[in-house]
Amino acid sequence: EAQVTQNPRYLITVTGKKLTVTCSQNMNHEYMSWYRQDPGLGLRQIYYSMNVEVTDKGDVPEGYKVSRKEKRNFPLILESPSPNQTSLYFCASSPTGLAGGTGELFFGEGSRLTVL
Amino acid sequence: GNSVTQMEGPVTLSEEAFLTINCTYTATGYPSLFWYVQYPGEGLQLLLKATKADDKGSNKGFEATYRKETTSFHLEKGSVQVSDSAVYFCALSDLGPGTYKYIFGTGTRLKVLA
């Protein structure tokens, strides 16, 4: 089954404790992206990647890191989480890549993160 | 910069009522436009899309027409069902040299009462 898988789905952590949210897709998509969803703000893009080893900042990249060493994986790293990073996070992928296009986004089920 | 504005919710309707959720955008160039739907506890999924002016996207009884002259992409459905209760997001794809971003509206929550 074609899907985007995120883990963990739920996490409660404390300020400053490094964490990684994994994202994997099995559709051979070039494009992957991370979003955070907050009430009243909709989805805001954190980082995106147009292909392996090609990443770029979205609209709210502060406090986050990403890497794209393999096509299927795009982990989101919070080196020193703070309470303002409490949010619902979504990973997404698309067949759109360096070749351009208008492909739809395929979303994971979300990871709810609470930073105390 | 590019942006998407959609109507505030929540929108509460009775079953079989007509639905309109307004969406307007600002963009340079010719973005593609999308409507995504998020059911409770789930990720977003594509509802419909349109890639050029005057295109009409449709799916599951929902429709939206890409209106370049009014920079709008309003979502409509003639007769809503309880199962349509969800959050709806309007979005555009922002293509540029070396960049490919999606920009989302803030979402509109729809509640349909039996």
pLDDT, tens digit (0-9, with 9 covering 90-100), for A57-95: 998 999 999 999 999 999 999 999 999 999 999 999 988
Whether residue B92 contacts residue B102, with contact meaning beta carbons closer than 8 Å, is answered with yes
What pLDDT sits at residue B94?
Answer: 76
Whether residue A32 contacts residue A58, with contact meaning beta carbons closer than 8 Å, is answered with no
Confidence of residue B93 (pLDDT cuts 50, 70, 90): confident
Residue B19 C-alpha, separation from nearest chain A C-alpha, in angstroms: 21
The percent of residues in chain B predicted with pLDDT above 90, rounded, is 74
Give chain B positions within 8 Å (CB) of A42. 89, 104-107
Give CA–CA dist B83/A46, Å, rounded: 31
What pLDDT sits at residue B89?
Answer: 96
Contacts of the segment B62-70: beta carbons below 8 A, 24+ positions apart: B62/B35, B64/B23, B64/B33, B64/B35, B66/B33, B70/B24
Cβ separation B43–A107 shorter than 8 A: yes
Judge whether residue A2 has pLDDT over 60.
Answer: yes
Residue B86 C-alpha, separation from nearest chain A C-alpha, in angstroms: 14
Give CA–CA dist B77/B87, Å, rounded: 15
Cβ separation B104–A50 shorter than 8 A: no
Give chain B positions within 8 Å (CB) of A102. 32, 49, 51, 93
What pLDDT sits at residue B72?
Answer: 96
What pLDDT sits at residue B8?
Answer: 84
